[in-house]
Amino acid sequence: MRRLLSLFVTLLPLALPALAEEAKPATLTAAGEGSAFAVPDIAVVSIGVVGNGRTAQAALSANSADMAAVIGTIKTAGVDDKDIGTSGFSVSPVYPPEREQGADQPAKIVGYRVANQVRVTIRDFAKVGGVLDKVVGAGANQVNGISFDLSDRSGPTDQALKAAVATATRKAGVMADAANVKLVRLVSLTSEESRPYPTGPMPMAMAKAAVPIMAGQEQITANVTAVWEIAPK
C-alpha cells in the first residue's frame, strides 16, 4: 500500500501539466468588415505598340521607332523614368488565313508581328487624359488595364480597420449575450485588407477621342477576425 501511495505521489506532478492543458478557456470568434472611401490620385495604365513587317528585322525596327516616340511623349508629359517599365515584349510569325493554305503543305510565314508594352504610373491625375491622347498620336495602338491607386492609403485604411474592429466587437457582444456568457479578454485579432481590381482594356476608339478619365471613389475594405475568452455570467 505504501509503495502504491509513493508511486501515485511521484506520478502526480507529471499529470498536472496534462490536466492544465485540458482546462483551456472557452473562446468566442467574431468576424467584422469595415469600409472607407477615398478619391484616387494615381493612374496606372499599360500602353503598347503592335505592328507587322515582312521580316522580323523590319517589324522590330518599325516597332522600336514607334515605341521610342511613345516613350518620348510620355516623358515629355512629365512622367519620370522610374514610372515607366516594360511589361511585355514579343516577336511572333504571321501566317496566312487557313483558307489560303494548302491542306498538304506546311504553313508559310508571310511576316512577323512585334508587340511591346510599357506599364506607366501617372502620379498627376489631371494629366491622365492628356497623356493618353498624346501617346495615341505618337503611335500607340494598345491601351489596356487602366487602374487607380492612392498615393497615401494609411488614412482610409485606418478608418476601414477601426470600422471592422467595431463591427467584430459588436457582434461578439451580441453573441455573448445570446449565449448568456461574458467577454473576458481579447485573445487574438487578425486583419486583411482588400483592394479593387484594375478595369479592363480601353477600346482604341475611345482612346482616339479626348479621353475623359474619371476615377470616382476607391473603396478600401478591411476584414478582421477577433477571438475572445469568455466565461459564464
Tens of pLDDT along the chain (233 residues)? 555 444 444 444 555 555 445 678 999 999 999 999 998 999 999 999 999 999 999 999 999 999 999 999 999 999 999 999 999 999 999 988 765 555 666 678 889 999 999 999 999 988 898 899 999 999 999 988 888 889 898 999 999 999 999 999 999 999 999 999 999 999 999 998 766 544 444 444 444 445 677 777 888 999 999 999 999 98
Task: Give the pTM.
Answer: 0.64
How far apart are the C-alpha atoms of 75 and 83, rounded to whole Å? 10
User: What confidence score (pLDDT) does residue 14 get?
Assistant: 52
User: What confidence score (pLDDT) does residue 218 get?
Assistant: 86
Domains of the chain: 24-38+154-199+214-232 (3.30.110.170), 42-99+108-149 (3.30.70.2970)
**Strands, DSSP E only, in the chain?**
27-38, 42-53, 84-94, 111-122, 142-149, 181-194, 218-232
Phi and psi at residue 216, in whole multiples of 5°?
65, -140
How far apart are the C-alpha atoms of 40 and 192, rounded to whole Å? 20
Instruction: Give CA separation, 217 vs 89, 122, 194, in Å.
Output: 33, 17, 15
